[in-house]
Structure 1
């Protein structure tokens, strides 16, 4: 009986492919999904994948970037890219109601990438993900600050709010992260 379980476990491991030995510090933790009952386990969902992390705000003048972020996600998703949007009211431009945040993201801009409930992304109260981003690259200075993370959980580039999702420099950084080895 034990040998059949061992065989099944080995077979499953062979079929599943290589597993990361350790979750990068950047991705350790969970965040509640926007307008959902479940949370996203950052390591389980994003480890070993290239990732674009953006702190967002529904009432920010940069909110139309959601459309461009969704375009990037659709364009590079087949190559493994994930996008994580993290709403925040740190700069006083996020909706007070998560239903309104969800409407802006999902109804107004058609976002399909992972969005979390609003979080603190700057200062001492920042969530661990953004503390790690700040250590590697600097804290966001405004809404729609963008971090490109490679498959090992290292920030390869960060971009200000002024950098549009269709900019050549952002696309080059994403392609570099996509090309990185897990």
Structure 2
């Protein structure tokens, strides 16, 4: 099954098919406005600006499932992203990305690209792993999205190539993106 089979709701409430992104390299990322990883919007936007003309699309999916770090309405999210980070890549309606209520796209992404742990050599990887181990150990079970800013890299044919966890910086994805462009 390809990512193109899914329908989505944009942040403005319009229905959209993933088919519109056929032939593009995609980064699908769940986001939040009040998270320690929220500054990743800056580097996601840089990647978008650098590679958009070569066929990269970044699709942002705000989610309020992690510590209620995306409490506002869709219009609040859109304003926040534009005003604070200059985000011009497509944003979608607030979306559940884990557990039984997860959008089918995210169920497909996590089934296809399993969780391989956090890089605990990095301070943020060590911190997030310790936090989840202590406070939310069930989050570490299975392949579901573990926290905000989990990123999935998808090739031009709709195949999921690689999963990057919240603690992986967007600019660290450059070499993998360039291979697909």
TM-score bracket for the superposition, by shorter chain length: 0.7 to 0.9
Instruction: Check whether the contact 2:7–2:16 (CA below 8 A) recurs between aligned residues.
Output: yes
Say yes or no: does 1:127 pair with 2:103: yes
Given the alignment of the two structures, is residue 71 of structure 1 paired with residue 46 of structure 2, yes or no?
yes
Runs of 4+ more than 6 Å apart: none
With structure 2 as the length reference, what TM-score do the two structures score?
0.79
Matched, 1:151 2:156: yes
With normalisation by structure 1, the TM-score equals: 0.78
C-alpha RMSD of the superposition: 1.3
**Contact 1:105 1:111 survives alignment (8 Å):** yes
Deviation at 1:38, TM superposition (A): 2.1
Task: Say whether 1:172 aligns with 2:172.
Answer: no
1:27 aligns with 2:23: no
CA distance in 2, matches of 1:177, 1:90: 31
Unaligned runs of 5+ in 1: 1-23
Q: Does 2:87 correspond to 1:111?
A: yes
Aligned partners of 1:148 and 1:177 also within 8 Å: no
Q: How far 1:66 sits from its partner (Å)? A: 0.6
Separation (CA, whole Å) in 1 of partners of 2:112 and 2:167: 20
CA–CA distance in structure 2, aligned partners of residues 166 and 25 of structure 1: 26
